[in-house]
């Protein structure tokens, strides 16, 4: 038991690791705050283009979405990280990571928004148009609010997944929480920093997990 505390919950080590963990949390939060909105915007764009129902365009969008759903995000990140320099493109690390996440998350958000837009009955569009709203106004004020509400559990659930995904950035040396924790672990030869990082993820994301559960159960109850 003593050994377990020494190795996993070592106070002295935690004190040394703490500043790195705090900085890591900051970077993880920053990365999440950048990629969730761009992912949402990208996904919404994909879904709205799909909703125009242009045949060739829809085939391309479907291919885009399926392509990036089949592609593990880590592979995408390593490919962009390792491949771009060979093309003579020199992106900063943050840009590389954000680009990989944008391609991945926009296809997932795109699928969710698409399902949402399809769930709004066509009568809603006809009624809105007959009151004199333009097509854009109808989309913005009538369809989107209902579509978003219908797929809210999935949107929140995917956002949770995106935040968890930020850990992959540690693999290419982006100094977020997991990366910092692993570096301190290697320096101190003690598991405490990594265990502490795991607990931080757990405490920070648990409320979101509960929220997703509640939304999901509610949407099942409605049916």
Partner 1 sequence: MELHRLVFSFFNADVASRYWLDIVYGMWVTTYLALAVVVAGLGLGLGLALARAFQFKPANVLIVIFADAFRALPPLVVIIVLFFAFPYVDLAMSAFTATWLSLSLVLAAFAEEIFWAGILSVPRGQTEAARSTGMSRAQALVYVVLPQAVRLTIPPLTNRMIAITKNTALGSVVAVHEIIYHASSGASEAGNPTPLTLGAIAYLILFLPVVIFSRWVETRFAWKR
Residue selected from 122, 131, 220, 222 as contacting partner 1 according to rule CB under 8 A = 220
172, 141 contact by CB (below 8 A): no
* Local structure of 197: helix, strand or coil: helix
DSSP 91: -
**Nearer to partner 1 (CB atom), residue 125 or residue 211:** 211
| Dist. CA 76–CA 68, nearest whole Å | 9
How many residues form the binding site for partner 1 (CB under 8 A)? 51
Cα–Cα distance for residue pair 121/118, rounded to 1 Å = 8
CA dist 169 and 24 (Å) reads 12
| Minimum separation from the CB atom of position 74 to partner 1 (A) | 4
Q: Is 4 an interacting residue with respect to partner 1 (CB under 8 A)? A: yes
CA Rg value for the chain = 21
| Positive or negative: CA dihedral 114, 103, 41, 31 | positive
- Window 61-100: contact mask with partner 1 (x via CB under 8 A): -----xx-xxxxxxx--xx--xx--xxx------------
Cβ closer to partner 1: 41 or 205?
A: 205
Task: Write out the residues near partner 1 by the rule CB under 8 A.
Answer: 3-4, 7-8, 66-67, 69-75, 78-79, 82-83, 86-88, 160-161, 164-168, 170-171, 178, 182, 185, 190-191, 194-195, 197-198, 201-202, 205-206, 208-210, 212-213, 216-217, 220, 223
């Amino acid at each position: 038991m003593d050994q377990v505390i020494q190795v996993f919950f070592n106070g002295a080590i935690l004190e040394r690791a703490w500043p790195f963990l705090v900085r890591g949390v900051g970077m993880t939060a920053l990365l999440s705050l950048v990629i969730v909105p761009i992912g949402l915007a990208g996904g919404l764009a994909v879904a709205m283009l799909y909703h125009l129902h242009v045949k060739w365009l829809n085939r391309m969008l479907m291919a885009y979405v399926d392509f990036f759903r089949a592609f593990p995000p880590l592979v995408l990140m390593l490919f962009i990280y390792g491949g771009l320099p060979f093309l003579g493109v020199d992106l900063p690390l943050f840009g590389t990571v954000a680009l990989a996440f944008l391609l991945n998350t926009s296809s997932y958000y795109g699928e969710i928004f698409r399902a949402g837009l399809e769930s709004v009955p066509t009568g809603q569009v006809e009624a809105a148009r007959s009151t004199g709203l333009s097509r854009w106004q109808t989309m913005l004020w009538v369809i989107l609010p209902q579509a978003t509400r219908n797929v809210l559990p999935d949107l929140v659930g995917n956002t949770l997944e995106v935040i968890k995904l930020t850990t992959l950035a540690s693999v290419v040396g982006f100094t977020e929480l997991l990366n910092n924790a692993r570096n301190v672990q290697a320096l101190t030869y003690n598991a405490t920093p990594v265990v502490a990082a795991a607990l931080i993820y757990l405490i920070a994301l648990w409320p979101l997990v509960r929220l997703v559960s509640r939304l999901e159960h509610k949407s099942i109850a409605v049916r």
